[in-house]
Structure 1
């Protein structure tokens, strides 16, 4: 049975998530408020995936917090297999997650904002590492087409510090086959405990997307290049806020 995706507010706003935000000293930095149009759905593109997109997860309970400007009730798109696993399917559903497939997200965007991590499983293996910031996104154009099909503006988000949280070792081919990450991860004391790395969730201004039911490859590429430029600008603008990150660069793969 697949989880229904019905949000359980008491779970989504549980004190546990506030404790985790304090653990990571999570900061959400936004453009001057208000930067989003009230009642209008947006597609939030989160980067990087890293071993686990902790910044994206912990920002979901802040979607109705006035200081973030994020829309209430926004959903998060996750790998469909996660919504079929015992226990985990309920955790993701209670938080308000939906399957990361075209039709589900397309339908949701008619009324509600949706956040997703475009890198997917490949981002764990080919994306950011503790020693390097990299996003695996050049070949990821499906979410761009989806935004164009629905005329939904894209909001770029970069979670700085997220890649330093955990190390990972696993099988890329097996993970792609099952469409979920398969492997082992470790952090503090070589245990599956995340390192206490500060995370800065930097949110950019919405990128206007013109609705097109049949966009040309050139039109898709144009929107993608604008997104990538905004992503690099977000990274460069905020990297000095993390000690030791001042000289890091963001590679687009």
Structure 2
């Protein structure tokens, strides 16, 4: 099969959209490594004091990520995020009003390869979250590992990213007065290994930590389904039981990170590369499930709320699937 090259004459708007997504993919896949290399390199130059002073700063500032972060309205409103949004495009869909006097725990599904919908909707203002849900402040939970990388942490903190540990989430959702939203990709890194076009498998039945968190903090649960999230990348076949999947599962358990072997298109051609396909994403935010605070929930309490959540998530999917391009016989597989 030949390579399909991009036309030479492409509107500037589309080139800027590609640039916006290119920098986003780079930040996910390579920026942290570059930051670490710069940090180490400076130690062996006359500017070694920069790395030493930054190490001191990281120690002094160590509690900031798990205390709600240090978000920046300016960063969240960068023009490049609007080009990033329009590349797919990404659309945030509201189905119910959310009272800002409460705190909310958004369960985001599916994880996808690089959680593009979650980032675009909750780490930037490109889709208008603050206008759509006035009085609410979103925080997307991310693996704690990334907040320990020098310089890179200063890039991710202003967007509203916080560590995905219980302490961090509890601090966000435990704030008096409400108005806080913690967004968790429930399926986590393991679900990324199943992300490919057409996939509707969600790893959620055995995931009850977020249910316990909602109960202990009293945060209302809100299911969120991002239609199109799994359509952005192809992935090398890795069925359960295969040698590749075995290696990926082992690496995920040891490092906490998943390593999907994904591919899609390039910058100047459409046949291969690491840029996502231009496929629309519709992130639908469901109705809130009221939760009564319970400092010591029983297994039955957790199971009951978990079932209510799964029912609401399934209803959200069924009510919107045809509207956003899926066939009537499409159904979620909850594992």
Structure 1 length-normalised TM: 0.90
Change (3 A) 1:244 1:140: closer
The answer as to 2:232 corresponding to 1:165 is yes
Query: What residue number does 2:286 align with?
Result: 204
Q: CA deviation at 1:64?
A: 4.6
Work out the CA distance in 2 between the residues paired with 1:75 and 1:185.
Answer: 27
The answer as to 2:112 corresponding to 1:50 is yes
The question of whether the paired residues in 1 share the 8 Å contact of 2:121 and 2:129 is answered with: no
Work out the CA distance in 2 between the residues paired with 1:18 and 1:160.
Answer: 19
Unaligned runs of 5+ in 2: 1-57, 237-243, 266-270
Work out the CA distance in 1 between the residues paired with 2:321 and 2:77.
Answer: 29
Q: CA deviation at 1:242?
A: 3.1
The answer as to 2:121 corresponding to 1:121 is no
Aligned partner (choices 261, 279, 300) of residue 184 of structure 1:
261
Query: What residue number does 1:146 align with?
Result: 213
Query: What residue number does 2:32 align with?
Result: none
Between Structure 1 and Structure 2, whose CA radius of gyration is higher?
2
Structure 2 length-normalised TM: 0.69
- Normalized per residue, which structure has more helix? 2
List per-residue Cα deviations over 1:132-151 (Å, max 9, x = no partner).
21110111101100110011
The SS at the match of 2:75 is helix
Query: What residue number does 1:65 align with?
Result: 130
The question of whether the paired residues in 2 share the 8 Å contact of 1:43 and 1:147 is answered with: yes
The question of whether the paired residues in 2 share the 8 Å contact of 1:138 and 1:252 is answered with: yes
The question of whether the paired residues in 2 share the 8 Å contact of 1:198 and 1:242 is answered with: no
Runs of 4+ in 1 over 4 A off after TM superposition: none
Unaligned runs of 5+ in 1: none
Work out the CA distance in 1 between the residues paired with 2:262 and 2:70.
Answer: 30
Query: What residue number does 2:46 align with?
Result: none
List per-residue Cα deviations over 1:146-202 (Å, max 9, x = no partner).
110011101110001000111335712202211122343211222100011111111
Q: How well do the aligned residues superpose, as a CA RMSD in angstroms? A: 2.0
Query: What residue number does 1:215 align with?
Result: 297
Change (3 A) 1:244 1:183: closer
The question of whether the paired residues in 1 share the 8 Å contact of 2:192 and 2:260 is answered with: no
The answer as to 2:74 corresponding to 1:10 is yes
Query: What residue number does 1:228 align with?
Result: 310
Q: Mean Cα displacement is larger for which, 83-92 or 155-164? A: 83-92
Query: What residue number does 1:94 align with?
Result: 158
Q: CA deviation at 1:30?
A: 1.2
